[in-house]
Amino acid sequence: MTTSRAIDVRRAGERFTTRLDWLDSRHSFSFSRHYDPANTHFGLLLVNNDDIVRAGTGFSTHPHQDMEIVTWVLDGELEHKDSVGHRGVLYPGLAQRMSAGRGIWHSEMNPRPAPDGAGRGGGPASARSRGWGPGGDEGAVHFVQMWVLPDTERLDPSYEQLDINAELGKGGLVPIASGRGHDAAISIRQEGAVLWGGRLQPGETVTVPDARFAHLFVARGAVSLDGAGRLDAGDAVRMTGAGDPSITADPAEGAEVLIWELAA
């Protein structure tokens, strides 16, 4: 079976948006009340949510089942607690995986106390740029959460976290989450998926893994992608049989990218 070559650019402003007084969430695929039958997944990737959560708030305890959930923090801290007894505070460079298996309940909260009064606007620039008023972003946490289907359903739930800052500091693309046993990566129960990440220096060039499906998300900064041109923070590209195009980080600001290498 052959796969047609395609590069499908999805701009940040085209994503579904959930806006609450404590949450600004941008969804790459159908999620929650947002549904488009033509946009439910890409390969094995079902969710790519770009979330900003205000200090002292978050997602209260809720259930998941049969899903590999990977969380990557860009700014701030996110506290995880689950019904199996796992607990951790995530920060930039600390990869986290939760395998929901036959069922798990968990919460994801911003552990920083809510600011008093108007605050100083000390949260991530991404929160300020997305329209919260003065002080509304102080202490906010900004993270990307991604879900892929597991190889096998109804397994026992499990959890893993791993600091990969040292690996990221070496440059290039680094495996963050892998179903193929990559060293220095958290493991996921899906042999057909690998998440690569890179904190690219200004002008640095890397190559997208040659895969049947590849999903590129620009988490911060900007890049130029062969065949697609300039991509800014929040933009995504779905590549099908696209070979191994190169990505070059913006010469002034650099970029942070997340790339899923996916089977069918």
Check residue 3 and give its pLDDT.
61
Report the largest interatomic distance among the alpha carbons of the chain, rounded to a whole angstrom. 61
Q: Is residue 19 within a helix (H) or strand (E), and if so which, with residue range? A: strand 16-19
Residue 25 has pLDDT above 90, yes or no: yes
Pick the residue with more confidence: 239 or 118?
239
> Residue 203: helix, strand or coil by DSSP?
coil
Listed range (11-20, 115-124, 239-248) with the worst mean pLDDT: 115-124
pLDDT tens sequence across 32-90? 999 999 999 999 999 999 999 999 999 999 999 999 999 999 999 999 999 999 999 99
The Cα–Cα gap between 221 and 99 comes to 30
Q: Are strands 246-249 and 23-27 parallel, antiparallel or unpaired?
A: unpaired
Residue 136 has pLDDT above 90, yes or no: no
Check residue 28 and give its pLDDT.
98
Q: Is residue 165 within a helix (H) or strand (E), and if so which, with residue range? A: helix 165-168
- Tokens for 142, please give them: 């900004």
Check residue 5 and give its pLDDT.
85
Check residue 63 and give its pLDDT.
97
The DSSP symbol for 116 reads S
Give the architecture-level CATH label for domain 8-262: Sandwich (2.60)
Mean pLDDT of 138-154: 96
> Residue 210: helix, strand or coil by DSSP?
coil
C-beta of residue 240 within 8 angstroms of C-beta of residue 211: no
pLDDT category, 120, cuts 50, 70, 90? very low
pLDDT category, 137, cuts 50, 70, 90? confident
Mean pLDDT of 184-211: 97
Check residue 124 and give its pLDDT.
72
Pick the residue with more confidence: 150 or 4?
150
pLDDT category, 138, cuts 50, 70, 90? confident
pLDDT category, 128, cuts 50, 70, 90? low
For the chain, the domains span 8-262
Mean pLDDT of 135-148: 89
The percentage of residues in the chain with a pLDDT greater than 90, rounded to a whole number, is: 86
Residue 119 has pLDDT above 80, yes or no: no
Check residue 261 and give its pLDDT.
97
Q: What is the mean pLDDT of the chain?
A: 93
